[in-house]
Amino acid sequence: MAAVWYELKHQCKQTGARYGILHTPHGDFETPLFMPVGTKANVKTLIPSEIKEVSEGLILGNTYHLWLQPGDEIIKKFGGIRGFMNWDGALLTDSGGFQVFSLSKIRKITEEGVEFRHHKSGEKLFLTPEKSIEIQNNLGADIIMSFDECPPFNSTYEYMKDSVDRTIRWAKRGKDAHKNPETQALFGIVQGGGNKEIRKYCLEKLMEIDFPGYSIGGLSVGESKADMYEMLEFLKDIMPSDKPRYLMGVGSPDDLVVGAMNGIDMFDCVLPSRNARHGTAFTSYGKVQVKNASLKSSHEPLDPKCDCYVCKTYTKGYLNHLVKSEEILGMRLLTYHNLYFLKTLMANVRKAIQEDRLADFKDEFFKSFGYEKK
Amino acid sequence: MAAVWYELKHQCKQTGARYGILHTPHGDFETPLFMPVGTKANVKTLIPSEIKEVSEGLILGNTYHLWLQPGDEIIKKFGGIRGFMNWDGALLTDSGGFQVFSLSKIRKITEEGVEFRHHKSGEKLFLTPEKSIEIQNNLGADIIMSFDECPPFNSTYEYMKDSVDRTIRWAKRGKDAHKNPETQALFGIVQGGGNKEIRKYCLEKLMEIDFPGYSIGGLSVGESKADMYEMLEFLKDIMPSDKPRYLMGVGSPDDLVVGAMNGIDMFDCVLPSRNARHGTAFTSYGKVQVKNASLKSSHEPLDPKCDCYVCKTYTKGYLNHLVKSEEILGMRLLTYHNLYFLKTLMANVRKAIQEDRLADFKDEFFKSFGYEKK
């Protein structure tokens, strides 16, 4: 038995969206789901019992950051990220590839791997597919990622093809280097930017190598939403239906709903927690700038339709005061609320799929959240 | 019946330290106790249920900060600070006087009050004894403070005498302006810097006005510990034994123990939470710089003798990682631990008083914490 496997339970008759169960060594999870990001072995501001309350029990850690601090060898001795941070739920790590390309300005890509400089110290570093997998083996997540290049969405055909061919070779090398396939499921990552032909080619080559799950990388990297949604629609029909599908780094409420409509099972994003630290809350009536003076005297909860701890306990006036005063507690409470909001949203998405009405749900949600109808 | 009254239960035969009960409208508290500081209507990083765990249930709010943001009139409409922050325990507010003198560079003291500039915006502001009490009436704490001047410890005799005379007149004006003596106990503040004669004079004049409790201000403001302890010893025998005694702004572990030995019942200080945010922890074996590289690989708890959530859950290695990574969660966990440490320390102090062995306890504690014997 593979470390992780996907069970398709129902497809929405209105949209084709998938409701299923993701089986992992540390829990079975209803999908589609959103995974909070715990970059540095913690979901910012929260303790594990709270992460449980605001997630399905599956979170993400970042290989790049933890490799550099405190180091994967050290984390391994603590029992991996899960032992280190005292998390008894399930875990996914990325490959570090995205951070190499997004955080490091100076880098050199060779067949062997990527040479780059530490985003703070400037120290010279080298990451290869084998090294990424070795780190991820040490970090010990249930789901791990192939080391890939994330080329710009609108790269030339030639660059994109070369890059994707290398990503495919790196995926194979990573699979060969992977030491714990029985306990850690290695996903392949479909790249190809905005080029459908190359996306399809990449997917097919990865399927030949054979992975227990497939991720979609290189989306939500600056392209328009229309471009992203078009690519998701294209991929929807060609991705294998018996494997989990993970759309990397996507987590705005509209993208989660549209992603689910296009058959995505798993999402992650720093957006809800980062927005929270900057005073922006997601609510049933749209985004709220909590610092806004209009909230100052409000005795109402942030979201009257939300039953999270924050909305049951505090007023908008108090949250406004905390955010305006730059109090850490404000960041903490909004992080909790925003993650809870996405958890609730995804539960509603799953319900709508099972009831064959996800397109209707999308219209209702977009209207209440204040999105233009798309 | 006064809003707040003190019941002396036992005096340590070794030291004369007082064990008693402080009765307030929102709870009866064993003393001596330490009160965590919740400057801006929150104890930084913590929610009320956690504040309960790391305190006796009595905390402090700062009049100056809350007057300026969001404003006492607004807080009044939320049911005072307690309603605003959802705190069902007891509460004390200071008068704002100390912040006017410590935060504001430009100020002018007149008989009427103090004119000063906002410590951030530069806006011109004016605080008087009547205004301070009005704000504190709106903030609604169980215990409130007279508006005083906090003169430098080593002011000239002439300056000190003038200042203290004014502080006494301000105390009387504050008492006259106080609207809710049945629900909020107004304490007088003994000033006088390092001058015993003036301290005694101030105390006697305040006792003539008659307050339900007396605070000691103007200590731990830069003078030596020897100077502070000498003054505490002096005041110990002349303060009224049937009223609570509150030593303002003092909270390092050694000062708490020595303060208790000198008959102090109540303490507050930002030190434990501020230290926490800067990565310093109090432990049974002394202060620990949690960022220190020697902790990096440690699988031990921060303090093996501590039974707080942090010490029961996390390793020194993980806390080192959080602090080194400047994660908010690190600040939160150390704040929790440091406050819990002081809560435990004060529980041990009370036990030692009841067992007539506080001097022995002091020696044991100073030795284990790494203080020089004093």
- DSSP states of A43-81 as a string? -TT--HHHHHHHSSSEEEE-HHHHHHTT-HHHHHHTTHH
Residue A297 with chain B: CB contacts under 8 Å: 74, 77
Closest residue by Cα to residue B152 from B222, B105, B205 = B222
- Distance in angstroms (rounded) separating the CA atoms of residues A104 and A111: 19
Inspect the interface and report whether the beta carbons of A317 and B44 lie closer than 8 Å. Answer: no
pLDDT exceeds cutoff 80 at B105 = no
Q: Where are the alpha helices (DSSP H) in A210-248?
A: 225-236
Residue B314 with chain A: CB contacts under 8 Å: 86
Encoding tokens for residue A340?
């809870």
DSSP A285: T
Which residue on chain B is closest to A320 by alpha carbon? B70
**Which residues, 6+ apart, have CB-to-CB distance to A61 below 8 Å?**
A38, A39, A41, A81, A91, A92, A93, A139, A141
- Distance in angstroms (rounded) separating the CA atoms of residues B29 and B22: 5
Which is the catalytic residue, given A72, A94, A265, A303?
A94
Encoding tokens for residue A245?
């599908």
pLDDT of res. B115? 93
Encoding tokens for residue B138?
């709106």
**Which residues, 6+ apart, have CB-to-CB distance to A112 below 8 Å?**
A128
Residue A224 sits at the chain B interface (C-beta within 8 Å): no
Say if CB B300 and CB B92 are below 8 A apart: no
How would residue A105 be classed by pLDDT, with cut points 50, 70 and 90?
confident
pLDDT exceeds cutoff 80 at B249 = yes
How close B32 gets to chain A, by Cα (Å)? 28
Residue B76 sits at the chain A interface (C-beta within 8 Å): no
pLDDT of res. A291? 98
Q: CA-CA distances (angstroms) from residue B310 to A248, A267, B287, B304?
A: 33, 31, 16, 11
Residue A183 sits at the chain B interface (C-beta within 8 Å): no
Inspect the interface and report whether the beta carbons of B44 and A327 lie closer than 8 Å. Answer: yes
Mean pLDDT confidence for A157-164: 97
Say if CB A288 and CB A314 are below 8 A apart: no
Mean pLDDT confidence for A311-326: 98
pLDDT of res. B101? 83
Closest residue by Cα to residue B344 from B87, B34, B22, B11 = B34
pLDDT exceeds cutoff 50 at B321 = yes
Query: Mean of the per-residue pLDDT values for chain B?
Result: 96
3-state secondary structure (DSSP) of residue B211 = coil
User: How many C-beta atoms lie closer than 10 Å to residue B262's C-beta?
Assistant: 25
pLDDT exceeds cutoff 50 at A2 = yes
pLDDT of res. B104? 76
Residue B85 sits at the chain A interface (C-beta within 8 Å): yes
Mean pLDDT confidence for A102-123: 87
- Distance in angstroms (rounded) separating the CA atoms of residues A195 and A161: 9
A33-62 b/e (C-beta count within 10 Å ≥ 16 → b) = bbbbbbbbbbbbbbbbebbeebbbbbbbbb
The residue assigned the tokens 């690989």 is: B297
pLDDT digits (tens, 9 = 90+) for B10-64: 999 999 999 999 999 999 999 999 999 999 999 999 999 999 999 999 999 999 9
The residue assigned the tokens 């994967």 is: A72
How close A229 gets to chain B, by Cα (Å)? 35
**Which residues, 6+ apart, have CB-to-CB distance to B226 below 8 Å?**
none
How many Cα atoms occupy the beta-carbon half-sphere of B29 within 13 Å?
29
- Closest CB from B320, B324, B329 relative to A44: B329
Query: Mean of the per-residue pLDDT values for chain A?
Result: 96
Inspect the interface and report whether the beta carbons of B69 and A324 lie closer than 8 Å. Answer: yes
Residue A324 with chain B: CB contacts under 8 Å: 69-70
How would residue A292 be classed by pLDDT, with cut points 50, 70 and 90?
very high
pLDDT digits (tens, 9 = 90+) for B190-208: 999 999 999 999 999 999 9
**Pairing mode, strands A114-117 and A107-109:** antiparallel
Residue B44 with chain A: CB contacts under 8 Å: 327-329
pLDDT of res. B1? 66
Residue B67 sits at the chain A interface (C-beta within 8 Å): no
Residue B320 with chain A: CB contacts under 8 Å: 70
- Closest CB from A40, A70, A297 relative to B296: A70
pLDDT of res. B373? 47
Q: Which amino acid is at A151?
A: P
Which residue on chain A is closest to B327 by alpha carbon? A44
Mean pLDDT confidence for A120-124: 86
Whether the pTM exceeds 0.90: the reply is: yes
pLDDT of res. A102? 83
Query: Any idea which of A32-36, A370-374, B232-236 has the lowest mean pLDDT?
Result: A370-374
Residue A41 sits at the chain B interface (C-beta within 8 Å): yes
Inspect the interface and report whether the beta carbons of A78 and B322 lie closer than 8 Å. Answer: no
- Closest CB from A299, A322, A333 relative to B78: A299
Q: How far is the first Cα of chain A from the last one, in angstroms, to the nearest whole number?
A: 42
DSSP A293: G
Helix axis angle for A253-261 and A328-354, nearest 10°, is 20
Closest residue by Cα to residue A319 from A271, A270, A280 = A280
Cα B351 to the center of its chain, rounded Å: 21
pLDDT of res. A131? 98
ipTM of this complex > 0.95?
A: yes
pLDDT exceeds cutoff 80 at A344 = yes
The residue assigned the tokens 């030949």 is: A208
Which one of B310, B329, B332, B337 would you mutate to disrupt binding with A, by most A Cβ within 10 Å of its Cβ? Answer: B329
Residue B318 sits at the chain A interface (C-beta within 8 Å): yes
Residue A45 sits at the chain B interface (C-beta within 8 Å): yes
- Distance in angstroms (rounded) separating the CA atoms of residues B134 and B126: 13
Residue A70 with chain B: CB contacts under 8 Å: 296, 317, 320-321, 324
**Which residues, 6+ apart, have CB-to-CB distance to A43 below 8 Å?**
A36, A37, A51, A55, A59, A273, A335, A339
Which is the catalytic residue, given A142, A148, A255, A268?
A268
DSSP A185: E
Q: Residue A356 forms beta bridges with which residues?
A: none
What count of CB pairs under 8 Å joins A to B?
Answer: 98
Residue B332 with chain A: CB contacts under 8 Å: 45, 47, 328, 332
- Distance in angstroms (rounded) separating the CA atoms of residues A65 and A47: 19
3-state secondary structure (DSSP) of residue B282 = strand
Closest residue by Cα to residue A231 from A200, A206, A204 = A200
Cα A132 to the center of its chain, rounded Å: 18
Inspect the interface and report whether the beta carbons of B69 and A44 lie closer than 8 Å. Answer: no
Mean pLDDT confidence for A303-320: 98
List of E strands, A192-290: 214-216, 245-247, 266-269, 280-283, 286-289
Q: For residue A242, indicate whether it is catalytic.
A: no
Strands of the A90-93 sheet, one edge to the other: A33-36, A266-269, A245-247, A214-216, A185-190, A143-145, A90-93, A58-61
Which residue on chain B is closest to A291 by alpha carbon? B70
How would residue B118 be classed by pLDDT, with cut points 50, 70 and 90?
confident
Inspect the interface and report whether the beta carbons of A44 and B327 lie closer than 8 Å. Answer: yes
pLDDT exceeds cutoff 50 at B83 = yes
Per the rule left: phi > 0, alpha: psi between -120 and 50, beta: everything else, A35 is: beta
Residue B62 sits at the chain A interface (C-beta within 8 Å): no
**Pairing mode, strands B245-247 and B124-127:** unpaired
Residue A84 sits at the chain B interface (C-beta within 8 Å): yes
Q: Which amino acid is at B229?
A: Y
Mean pLDDT confidence for A252-281: 97
Residue A315 sits at the chain B interface (C-beta within 8 Å): yes
How would residue A1 be classed by pLDDT, with cut points 50, 70 and 90?
low
CA angle, B88 as apex, B76 and A318 as ends, to 5°? 45
Which one of A37, A44, A47, A53 would you mutate to disrupt binding with B, by most B Cβ within 10 Å of its Cβ? Answer: A47
How would residue B322 be classed by pLDDT, with cut points 50, 70 and 90?
very high
How would residue B372 be classed by pLDDT, with cut points 50, 70 and 90?
low
Residue A6 sits at the chain B interface (C-beta within 8 Å): no
